[in-house]
Amino acid sequence: MLYKDLVDFANKLKRSFFIDNEFKKYAELDRALPIGHGQTISQPSLVLKMTFLLDLVQDKSSKVLEIGTGSGYQTALLAEFSGPVFTVERVKELSEEAQARLKQLGYSNIFYKVGDGSEGWIENAPYDRIMVTAAASKVPVELIDQLGAGGKMVIPVGPKHIQELQLITKDQDGKVHVQSNDMVSFVELKGKYGWE
């Protein structure tokens, strides 16, 4: 994926479309905003950074797993530059709202699940890319297992409130490498391999 293509698309995609509350008027600010149920939509600069870090292949064929559908904003960026996107959200209402928005935008390569994404989505594994938009104290083992050879995963790892943005790569021999990037602050990944 070319950074310019990503930025051009993000500039066309209105973040306000993904926010249906009193914070809608702040959608153009580069700030994280509440989306209900105690969850937040990240600032656009970070969403772009994470998407670029994930390094989707140029021919838009990457098979992607996303954990934390939230508003669906990050999902739209992934779906625009990849093959199938399998997205998991634990809060049913958020998933349903995101589904309605993304259908309105016309995406047919997004598949939704309501459930615990810390366990991944085994039925469609392995994945070329995994994007986790909630913070785990350590990388869920299931997600590493479901990442294919040559795969990449972007995930915030660390305690509540402040985490390290990690790029995890699995080489052709199945060996896992970790590269640390910026410090970020995400809501918790809950569930079996997340926070209680």
Residues 6+ apart with CB under 8 A from 82: 56, 60, 61, 62, 63, 64, 109, 129
CA distance 90 to 107: 21
Measured from the CB of residue 42, what is the shortest distance to ligand SAH in angstroms?
6
When asked if residue 41 is in the footprint of ligand SAH (CB under 6 A), the reply is yes
Which of these ranges, 33-41, 52-60, 121-129, 158-166, lies near ligand SAH under the rule CB under 6 A? 33-41
Convert residues 116-155 into a mask of x (bound to ligand SAH by CB under 6 A) and - (unbound).
xxx--------------xx---------------------
CA distance 21 to 6: 26
When asked if residue 40 is in the footprint of ligand SAH (CB under 6 A), the reply is yes
Confirm whether 42 is a catalytic residue.
yes
Residue at token pair 């305690």? 159
Return the structure tokens found at 71: 């508003």
Residue at token pair 């913070």? 135
Return the structure tokens found at 3: 């950074």
When asked if residue 68 is in the footprint of ligand SAH (CB under 6 A), the reply is yes
- Active-site annotation, residues: 42
Instruction: Give the footprint of ligand SAH on this chain (CB under 6 A).
Output: 35, 39-42, 67-68, 70-71, 73-74, 88-91, 94, 116-118, 133-134, 187, 189-191, 194
